[in-house]
Chain A
Amino acid sequence: MSEMTRRSFLKTTAGVAAMGAAVPIISGGWQQLLGAEKPGYFEREFGISDALCQKVLAAALAKGGDFADLYFEHTVSNWIVLEDGKVNQAFSDVALGVGIRTVKGDQVGYGFTQELNEPSMLNAAAIAATIANGLQVKPAAKFAWLETKNYYALEKLLTAVKLEAKLPLVQKINEKCFALSPLVVKVNASFHDQQKRIMVVNSEGVKAEDLQPRDYLTAFVVAEKNGRREQAGWNLGGRQNFSFYTQKAIDEIAAKAVNDALLLFDAVQPPAGEMPVVFAPGVTAILLHEAIGHGMEADFNRKKTSTYCTMIGKKVAEPFITIIDDGTIPNQLGSINIDDEGTPGQRTVLVENGILKSYMHDKISARYYQVQPTGSGRRESYQHYVQPRMRNTIMLAGPATREDIIRSAQKGIYVENVSNGQVNIGEGDFAFYVSQGRLIENGKLTSTIKDINIMGNGPKMLQDITMLGNDFELHRGGTGACGKGGQSVPVGFGQPSCLVKSLTVGGVKS
């Protein structure tokens, strides 16, 4: 069923649920090294020829429209789970289908089918065609492959890595977590890998193909002390090679999860109310994603529902602030060689030296604003239509040291880890959940804090960033999932430490 609200949310917490085992389902092409692979996966594996695409696109444009496109997807996901000391659960999922879209102005007709045969595809195309009511438009007679770069070159497909090689990853996490502290009472660990093959063919004669890996290794621990329990988790991943998951990565994940859980035994609840907030570098860039990024997605601006719809070319932040949505960072979770409507992956400067420069565009909004699409047209799967979405959203570093920033805050809170956030686009109001942080008292970090919500207004907060650190960090997690309009897509983010002069902290004491 559809999500009941178009509000957006982001979460990074890995839930251990039903997905994924290391079962290479399709043989043949799957075992090849990517460097050696020629384009045309869907033709080789499923017989999708140019002639068939042309016929289906013609059916999608049977009643006119500006353009039509086909989005083929074949995704294999695997997941192994360790619980109570044993890797005793494995999951896998195969998704196969094609989505057919007819676009007329800002109107979209959409049909999809899981059966990649001509009658099913023509049927889906006929549904998409109903959005228009004019005369037939002919698609291009020939299709040419789009030249693309590769921001996540793979040594070997992770789905082709044997299960026997993956099992030790989670077993070692488990051992390491228990070895780190006698207070640890439960460890959940899992390794997830996914291979998403896509091909976009449009009526303008462009075809583009991509293989988008996604993977992560995660630990979640519960510790017990004097009858009290605390939980914490951490993960590393992205669009990585299997060689990324070294002993060092395992140690880092285990240490972070265990140490964070142990710190919480001494955590206090901060006072409620408005106060300065300092964000640690890295994962806290969820703030950037929620409070600022969503309002710069072009659809909200085209519909005039975003507070940024009148702000292009205007000052939205202090001059030392530059914000970029970048789909080209090597191996980052939000990187894409092509977006889901066949536009090459790219880097979009949203805010430069405090001035709002650009929104994130898909083809529909780019036509509306008469600009080039920014490669931001994304969708969850072949079952969904395209929306302008973020990729890796980052704020560039500034001049200050972290110590200076904390000292300047004097009295407030320091946010180290956040699990999720949400924004109301129109008002610009946002909230995010702090799973780990510290009090700042007399310009110094003191007690640990946890489980509090922080509220603010996005545009106001952007104006209120008064200091930026020189310690930029990308979050290297593999679980960042952004939700919008009922669709989830993987995203990345990063930022330096920064000071926001005032936000509402939801503590328990008035």
Chain B
Amino acid sequence: MNKEMFDLASWVIKASKSAGADDCKVNLDNNRSVEISYRDRQPENIKEASTKALNIEIYANGRFSQQSTSDLRKRALQDFIANAVAATKLLAEDPIRTLPDPKYFQGRAELELELVDPAYKSLTPENRHEMVKRMEKACLQEGGDKVISVTAQEEDGFQESLQMTSNGFAGFAQGTYYSVFAEMTAKDEGDRRPNSYSYAVAVSRKDLPSSEAIGVQAAQRTLAMLGAKKIKTATLPVIIENQNVGRMFGGFLAAMFGRSIQQKRSFLADKKGQPVASKLLTLIDDPFIKGGLGSRLFDGDGFSAKKRTMIEAGVLQEFFIDWYYSRKLGWEPTSGSAANLVIPPGQRTVKAIMKDLGRGILINGFIGGNSNPTTGDTSIGITGHLFENGEPVQAVAEMNIADNHLKFWNKLIEVANDPFLYSSRRFPSLVFENIVVSGL
């Protein structure tokens, strides 16, 4: 526990109560981050900074407000808190809005989540420049004479957060992160300049792929998009590449939250215990993955984290219900947010699956698009590769898929064996049948 943060949070709670609050919750966040990018074999941007933020929820006379500031001087905070409490009292009463029942704070797991890279302290500016230079060099080499522009970037940071409530909760978390990113723009026929990228994010440096691998992959992904065009509208099997599954699933996920359900904006509201997807879809929220980007011991309400099966063999088991909306709905709360979402991987590689499917589209990117959580309707642009006899034959762009989530996830026919580990959404590539891909 960072004593300075603990003392400040305790002081804020005390000051809020003296200013007339009945209860309050404080979140303090400290973040130190460094970012370096290279272009044309020289640094393009170098950025470094520390930030602090205070967020406070005030509960006064049955009323609620939330305030945040980066001005942590005590004199400024004193005025800030006094004004916040005074303003809160002008709002409408909301008896539902309270701090959570402390019984949900109990039973916090005693686990070491390994969220701090022990090697982080020894990371030097030279290390960072070296990582980025190697990424850039590998990408330039692989891209060859097709390269118009290559950018390579590294960002890393150390974060500390403290959450404390006036009814007895205190939780502290620390973490490191590294993100590496390379992108390339290539020459193509006519005026097209395909651009693609590769990236990875991890808690520990040892879990990142090599800088060369990121650079090479960025170039390969870009080169593979040369000559992309739209093809005739067709009903085909599609494979959504692992790192892009999260964006498609986001539209489904949006309907799984307490607020969506209570505000009548969820197409899943009445579907608990019912099949909502193919039997091949199981979704687990696992907060306890060591070194996981979403791992945690408690959530934003202070609830002790729990591993939950949200969807089991296509049947919807749970929603994400926070304290407030659990009270509005009269339901038992779970957690208001996801930690690490996991779709358990299948047996086969994407390559083997493509062979079996014969003809289809491998989706390697989405563009634009949106999803309506009330109805489940979704429509989104895609880029990728048409494959025939299991081999890519044509890069495709400017095409689209549209469906309703309740139908779309029922068309899942296989889960590949390649979970994307550089995200808190650990999804493998997924295979769907009978998808209308619109183009010409």
Name A's B-contacting residues (CB within 8 A).
Answer: 1-2, 4-7, 9, 18, 21-27, 80, 83-84, 86-97, 106-114, 124, 127-128, 130-131, 163-164, 167, 185-186, 188, 222, 224, 228-231, 269, 272-274, 303-307, 383, 385, 419-433, 435, 450-453, 455-457, 459, 504-510
Rounded to whole Å, the gap between the CB of B410 and the closest CB of chain A is: 15
Is there an interface contact between B438 and A505, defined as CB atoms closer than 8 Å? yes
Taking CB atoms and an 8 Å cut-off, the chain B residues in 350-400 that contact chain A are 367-370, 372-375, 377-381, 383, 397-400
With a cutoff of 8 Å between Cβ atoms, the chain A residues found around residue B71 in the complex are: 94, 96, 114
Cβ of A455: which chain B residues have Cβ within 8 Å of it? 230, 367-368, 381, 398-400
- B67 adjacent to A431 (CB under 8 Å): no
From residue A230, how far is it (CB to closest CB) to chain B in Å? Answer: 6
| B372 & A114 in contact (Cβ 8 Å cutoff) | no
A383 to chain B, nearest CB (A): 7
> For residue A435, which residues in chain B have a CB less than 8 angstroms away from its CB?
370, 372
Please give me the residue from chain A that is nearest to B192 by CB atom: A427
The 4 closest A-B pairs by CB, nearest first: A431-B368, A506-B400, A272-B438, A431-B381
Contact across chains for A111 and B47 when beta carbons are under 8 A apart: yes
- Interface of B (DSSP majority class): strand
**CB–CB A453/B193 < 8 A:** no
Taking a contact as CB atoms under 8 Å apart, the answer to whether B51 and A114 are in contact is yes
Contact, CB under 8 Å: B228 / A427: yes
> In the complex, are the beta carbons of A93 and B68 less than 8 A apart?
yes
Asked whether, in the complex, the Cβ of A304 is within 8 Å of the Cβ of B148, the reply is yes
**A contact residues around B289 at 8 Å (CB):** none
Q: Does B170 contact A (CB under 8 A)?
A: no
- Mask: chain B, 34-45; 1 = CB below 8 Å from A; 0 = not: 010001001111
Q: B67 near A107 (CB under 8 angstroms)?
A: no
Q: How many residues of B contact A (CB 8 A)?
A: 91
Q: Inside 8 A of A1's CB, which chain B residues have their CB?
A: 155, 157, 177, 179, 201
CB pair A426–B192 under 8 Å, yes or no, is: yes
Kindly list 8 other residue pairs between chains A and B, CB separation below 8 angstroms, not including A274-B439, A425-B195, A507-B402: A97-B70, A167-B91, A222-B264, A421-B368, A426-B148, A427-B194, A427-B228, A451-B379
Distance in angstroms between the alpha carbons of A24 and B192 in the assembled complex: 51
Best-buried of B68, B186, B373 by chain A (most CB within 10 Å): B68
A–B Cβ pairs within 8 angstroms, 17 of them = A1-B201, A25-B79, A25-B80, A91-B65, A92-B67, A96-B69, A107-B44, A108-B44, A111-B47, A127-B49, A163-B87, A273-B233, A303-B39, A420-B370, A421-B368, A423-B367, A504-B399
B49 touches A124 (CB 8 A): yes
Would B374 and A453 count as touching, CB distance under 8 A? no
A433 with B265, Cβ < 8 A, contacts A21-B84, A304-B148 known = no
Bound complex: CA A228 to CA B375 (Å): 8
Is B398's CB under 8 angstroms from A457's CB? yes
Chain B residue numbers with a CB within 8 Å of A185 are 264
Closest to B148 in A: A304
Q: Is the CB of A431 within 8 A of B46?
A: no
In the bound complex, residues from chain B placing their C-beta under 8 Å from that of A111 are 47-49
Q: Which residue of B lies closest to A433 (CB)?
A: B370
Complex interface residues of chain B between 31 and 83 (CB less than 8 A to chain A): 35, 39, 42-52, 63-71, 79-80, 83
Least CB distance, A118 to chain B, in whole angstroms: 15
